[in-house]
Amino acid sequence: MSGRPLAFTGVRLVDPASGYDGPGAVMVVDGVIAEAAQGKDLGSLSSDVEVVAGGGALLLPGLVDIRVKTGEPGAETKETLESAARAAAAGGVTTIVVQPDTHPVVDEPSVVDFILRRARDVELVKVFAAGAATKGCSGERMAEIGLMAEAGCLYVTDADRPIVNSKVFRRVLAYAKAFDLLVAHRPSDPWLAGGAAASEGEFASRMGLPSVPVQAEKIMLERDLALVELTGARLLVDQVTTACALESLARAKARGLPVTATTSINHLSFNEIDIGDYRTFCKLDPPLRSEDDRQAVIEAVASGLIDIVVSAHAPAPPEDKRLPYEEAAPGAVGLETLLPALLSLHHDGRVPLIELVRTVTQAPADLLGLPQGRLAKGAPADLVLCNPTTPVLIDADKLTSKSKNSPFDGRTLQGKVLLTLADGRVVYRA
């Protein structure tokens, strides 16, 4: 894209930060939003302005996805930082935070610096790193949290691995608090969840699958909340998926504990029945839950109890998925399907559009102290133009991601990304 100013006219602006959802226009100059006109147009434009006539399409802040796995460094056949960035751009995601459980693990500042430098070389969407909470994500010794924070990591986490040792996790929380650094943690009791491939219940029993009771999520969450109360540290609960854990989360928030929670778009979109005839694309971690749990999680998003929705993008090549269900790797790609899948909840009348958009723009940006996620003068021109009613048939083989393990394969969603801008640069055009 040239350095010309860019004007979006005739669009429907959805900006949770200002609470506005309605007609308007946006002017982009030198990579930032120069004007966000709500309920009016931009007036007469000079001849050097490039005009994008929206025709009533949605203009949203670029999506901020704070839980993305790649294979780089160490397993580039799954996904590279570049292929993840291209997939993100195709999905209207302009900021991603990559997880630390790579090879080597992101547990020291030099690896954080490697990821940030590689992302700058790619020059597509914004890529940030989460650092490991413990060395090697092993849950045994605290990682170089302070040095990684100085190097630019946005939060610390052991990704899919819960930190079982309560003394170690207390140290992580207390040390992170000294830097006002967020700690993300997966609530799952590993003794109950070990070897599980599904959620415990009638369906798992019929399928003959080893399973985990939903209480495994609640048990670990209760421990984590107790340690938050002890240390005063900020906790991000990584993917709440069960109704019983939501009860614990609601009590913690009512008491004013500094707790934020995510859920994945997969757990909003699918339930355990979608496993069908041992469909490994639907093998996830956490596993898919009952329909009652799914409905409870949707209600928690609608009420604001769950703050953020993530893609939980976890690429896996065919050789890791084309195995017996119990042996297949868990996880699903999700960067390109996050927005249309999220819009399904709007089309179904479950959650107001502006609140859905908040969970993937303003809420994650504010949590991590980022300036994006809003349509405001002076904000980065990270934007996505989307037609919310255009049907999109998801064909996993045509996804931009190097891995094709999408549970949405074959499903028709509504919501086509037309244009994605990052810092005013067009990084994707349909």
Question: How many folded domains does the chain comprise?
Answer: 2
Residue 293 has pLDDT above 90, yes or no: yes
Q: How far, in whole angstroms, is CA 71 from its chain's centroid? A: 17
Same domain, 415 and 362: no
| pLDDT for residue 33 | 98
Residue 61 has pLDDT above 70, yes or no: yes
Task: Note the pLDDT tens digit of each residue in 226-255.
Answer: 999 999 999 999 999 999 999 999 999 999
Range of the domain at 133: 62-367
Query: Please, what is the average pLDDT of the chain?
Result: 97
Residue 418 has pLDDT above 70, yes or no: yes
Q: How much of the chain exceeds pLDDT 70, in percent?
A: 100
Which CATH number characterizes residue 384's domain? 2.30.40.10
What's the whole-number mean pLDDT along residues 31-47? Answer: 93
What's the whole-number mean pLDDT along residues 35-59? Answer: 93
Same domain, 266 and 311: yes
Task: Note the pLDDT tens digit of each residue in 80-131.
Answer: 999 999 999 999 999 999 999 999 999 999 999 999 999 999 999 999 999 9
What's the whole-number mean pLDDT along residues 273-287? Answer: 96
CA-CA distance, 116 to 93, in Å (whole number)?
17
Same domain, 86 and 221: yes
CA-CA distance, 357 to 310, in Å (whole number)?
12
Helix (H, G, I), strand (E, B) or coil at 395: coil
Query: The pTM is what?
Result: 0.97
- ∠ CA 246-70-123, nearest 5°, is 115
**44: confidence class by pLDDT, cuts 50, 70, 90:** confident
What's the whole-number mean pLDDT along residues 61-67? Answer: 98
Same domain, 44 and 181: no
Residue 43 has pLDDT above 90, yes or no: no
**397: confidence class by pLDDT, cuts 50, 70, 90:** very high
Closest CA to 131 of 98, 163, 161: 98
Residue 373, in any domain of the structure: no
Domain boundary, last residue among 367, 390, 411: 367
| pLDDT for residue 3 | 76
| pLDDT for residue 1 | 41
